[in-house]
Each structure stands twice: as structure tokens, then as C-alpha cells.
Amino acid sequence: MKVEISVPEVVSIFKEIQQKPGNIFEMIRVEIKESVGQYLTKLMDLERTEFLGRQWYEHAQGDVNHRNGSYSRNFTLKGIGAVKVEMPRDRKGEYETRIIPRSKQYEVELRQDLSLMFLTGVSTRSLSMMSERLIGRKVSPTEVSNANKELIEAVEKWRTRDLCPENP
């Protein structure tokens, strides 16, 4: 990725940093989120190109599938927060990215962290209130509960396991 910045932009940024030194970290966070969003969007676009089997404006014979734009979506990443990505689609609706799961709003590691916090005794409502501050996106109590279902099932299975040794 090539970054281009003009001298007046640099001067403007330095003046802003001098006036409010604490803003530099917010500026960095915003830039990182935008860069990660662009990176993920580009990866998915390349994945769609591979799926379709041809580059932009490359013609194909017969009844073939075509690009059909994209739609905006937020996806929350651990350590970064909510990132805006453009989800590419095809005309026939056959393409599905493997990079960002279709119905998931945050990555697996974040889901596991929410479950661990729940296991340590933090309530679903408390997790919901803390989520916006910690990850930049409010996670509803229902989402926290849904993330914990698998964990609760595994703990319950372990808790009710048979402790009797098998007879020879």
C-alpha cells in the first residue's frame, strides 16, 4: 500500500498534535482501523476474483457469474475494534468469503475472551456495558449469552461426566 501525503497536510497534523498531544493516539487508532478495513476489503475482493476465475473487465463465454458490487459492514477485531469493510458479492449469490464469516460480527478470539470474562464471574450485562469501552463496539447481553452457550454446554458436559471407572 502506498501512502501519499502533502507538506501542508503534514504541517496541519503537527499543529494539531502540538495543540492537543493526547489526540495523536486517537489519530493512530483511526488510521489503523481504516488501513485494516481496506486491507480486508482488498483480500476479499481478490478472493472473489479468484472465485470468478477472471480479472475486472475480462470477458468470459457462456452463462457465467459476474461481480455485483459490495455492501458495507462492521467487523470487530481483537486489539483493533470495529472495522468498516466492504463485503464483495457476485450476481448469482454463490460467492461467500472465507475471511470474514457470514453471520459473525466479531472474530473468534474476541468471542473466547468474552466467554473467559463470563467464566470469571462478570455478568452478561456488565460485559455488555464494558464492551464499548474495551473493544469500541457495544455487545448486547444477548450476544454475550450466545457466545457463552458453547462454553456452558462444554462445562456442563464435563461436570456431568461419568466418574466411575470402566469394569474390565
- Among residues 98, 110, 160, 159, which one has the least CA distance to residue 136? 110
Q: Does the pLDDT value for residue 71 go beyond 70?
A: yes
Q: How confident is the model at residue 59 (pLDDT cuts 50, 70, 90)?
A: confident
pLDDT tens digits, residue range 118-132?
A: 888 888 888 888 888
- The stretch 109-116 carries a mean pLDDT of 84
Residues linked to residue 52 through DSSP beta bridges, in sequence order: none
Q: Does the pLDDT value for residue 1 go beyond 70?
A: no
Q: Does the pLDDT value for residue 106 go beyond 80?
A: yes
Q: Considering the entire predicted model, what is its pTM?
A: 0.74
* Region class of 136: left (phi > 0), else alpha (psi between -120 and 50), else beta: left
Expressed in angstroms, the distance from the first to the final Cα of the chain is 65
Q: What is the mean pLDDT of the chain?
A: 86
Higher pLDDT, 160 or 58: 160
3-state secondary structure of 120: coil
Q: Which amino acid does the sequence have at 62?
A: G
